[in-house]
Structure 1
Amino acid sequence: MASSPDLYAFVRGEIVPLTRAYLHVSDLAIQRGYGIFDYFRVHETQPLFVEDHLDRFYESARLMQLAVPLTRAALHEVILELARRNDLALSGIKILLTGGYSPDGYTPTPGEASLVLIQQPLTMVEQAAVDCGIRIMSHEYVREVAQAKTINYTMGIRLIQRLQETGLDDVLYHQQSVVSEFPRSNFFIVRQDNTVVTPAENVLFGITRKKVLQLASRRYPVEEGPVTLMDIWQAKEAFLTNTTKRLLPVVELDGKPIGTGKPGEVTLALLAAFQELEQAELHVVRL
């Protein structure tokens, strides 16, 4: 990450210039890749869906047996103060919590967890990607402790070169043809009868996923349950959800088209509803 002299970060109890935001080499994130994170958008100084993200952050910490060194209220104040100092028009804040400094590079030291907040300018997905949809491949893999948002993205990063070589956009994990998630996104299909379905096992419960399920339930039948590779090829539509992409149509899997091979009406309707929800949330915060 390029360091900007104009930005600030929070590192182990203090806000410092991003150019001085470092952890010691004994930290278990460096030594063993042990830690969690969460990430949310900030519009000017207003974090979007921040309470949902904090719920998930503290749950990830619990699952990974990490003690957050700040109360929820204190962490919220740090988020707001960092956003005020950096004063960016559109950005993302990443909250990192690692196993902290360890004398033997393996055993956590009580009270030594490292809490880090980084804020960076953000560019949302281009409209062309929404208009055309994306093409993906499948790969057999299940994340360890899938319901925790850990910093272990080894498999996703290893597969980047294959995606670049094939000209595809993302990779969908599955186990014996039962799909779960993307490295950084949740997955949905729309059946021929307009039922909106998303996997419920071996997935991280994304905040955009949560909001889309709520919105979809007002218009369509909704299910959380098994989705197979064959279900995808027989589906009417498919899409992914995450913080920076919102809803993004998926039009091809492993070289086979999904539905008509174009973004579908249910996907686009839910995207429009989600964008309205975002604006309503930001308006409430401003008030």
Structure 2
Amino acid sequence: MSSNTVFLNDAFIVEAQASLLVTDLSIQRGYGIFDFFKTINGKPVFLDDHIARFYNSAQKMHLHISQTPEELKDIITELMQKNNLPDSGIKMTLTGGYSADAYTLPAAQNLIITQTALTVPKGLQAEGTTLVTYPYQRQLSEMKTLDYSMAIWLQPLIKENNAGDVLYQYAGFIKETPRANFFMVTTEGEVITAKDNVLSGVIRKNILNLKDTGFQLTEREFSLEELYNASEAFITSTTKNILPVLKVDGKAIGNGKAGKITTQLSALLLEKIR
């Protein structure tokens, strides 16, 4: 059992002693939200972006965070001091709370903050990954909810196709993977990511906000056929930074290797993280 310290509602306790009642809506109905960020050399990366998204998800899910953003930052700082894990992942979870009838949303929710050791990529992972597509639109897509049922249910499909993960497409348009945003690069060099009905990823946001890159960064819908004809593709997430996508549905993207624009954007992003 882990001896790491966690924060539960209003106290720091040993992780092995942390527990929730079975009446919590996260257990009964899978209702709740979370956010996850990394620390490098003891410093949180893009913390303000993650906290803003956490509060946005809570508001849209009709959940209440008792602490202010500044109070939450103070809790995170103290948790980091107690655990002494310079390179780590910190997860903030807000459950639906204890419901008398396992359906009605209670006034109070449960806040859990955990920290685990995490090794983050120090450069581009050129070996990349492969994806298999599946027709699905994630519900409540603008909120980072606890619901990963479809992604877990699709594990056999992913394995059968020797893929690293699944890529959701809906009505013929590419969306996202369960744990990462998706980008493609056209043969003209335009870098595109889906605009609507996807999670606003923090790495995605910081890539789109890069200045003077020399690249055209666009949010718009794009089809599976466009993707098959792309010159490059990559996914972005807190744990992966930028990870090249070499194949989709068994078809090589471009030359089947990490592309020039993907590599350059990765370097720009790592510079911003540092």
- TM bucket by the smaller chain? over 0.9
Distance across 2 between alignment mates of 1:155 and 1:125: 27
- Following superposition, the deviation at residue 104 of structure 1 comes to 1.3
- Asked if 1:84 is matched to 2:81, the reply is yes
Residue of 10, 34, 42 corresponding to 1:45: 42
SS at match of 2:177: coil
- Letter in structure 2 aligned against 1:24: L
- Asked if 1:170 is matched to 2:165, the reply is yes
Moved more, 214-223 or 46-55: 214-223
- Following superposition, the deviation at residue 132 of structure 1 comes to 2.2
Give ranges in structure 1 of 5+ residues lacking alignment.
280-287
- Asked if 1:104 is matched to 2:89, the reply is no
- Asked if 1:32 is matched to 2:29, the reply is yes
Moved more, 162-171 or 144-153: 162-171
Distance across 1 between alignment mates of 2:122 and 2:214: 27
Distance across 1 between alignment mates of 2:126 and 2:95: 39
Counterparts in 2 of 1:101-180, with a 5 A limit?
Answer: 101-110=98-107, 112-124=108-120, 130-180=125-175
Residue of 198, 203, 206 corresponding to 1:208: 203
Give ranges in structure 2 of 5+ residues lacking alignment.
none
Distance across 1 between alignment mates of 2:212 and 2:34: 29
SS at match of 1:222: strand
Distance across 2 between alignment mates of 1:140 and 1:216: 34
Distance across 1 between alignment mates of 2:40 and 2:92: 17
Cα deviation per residue 1:80-108 (whole Å; 9 max; x = unaligned)? 11011101131100000011011111112
- Letter in structure 2 aligned against 1:218: T
Residue of 239, 246, 255 corresponding to 2:241: 246
- Letter in structure 1 aligned against 2:173: V
Q: Where is the helix percentage greater, Structure 1 or Structure 2?
A: 1
Distance across 1 between alignment mates of 2:95 and 2:187: 44
Question: What's the RMSD between the two structures over aligned residues?
Answer: 1.4
Change (3 A) 1:151 1:94: same
- Letter in structure 2 aligned against 1:116: I
TM-score scaled by length of structure 2? 0.96
- Following superposition, the deviation at residue 69 of structure 1 comes to 1.3
Residue of 68, 74, 89 corresponding to 2:71: 74
Which residue does the alignment assign to 1:11?
8
SS at match of 1:130: coil
- Letter in structure 1 aligned against 2:129: I
Distance across 2 between alignment mates of 1:109 and 1:224: 37
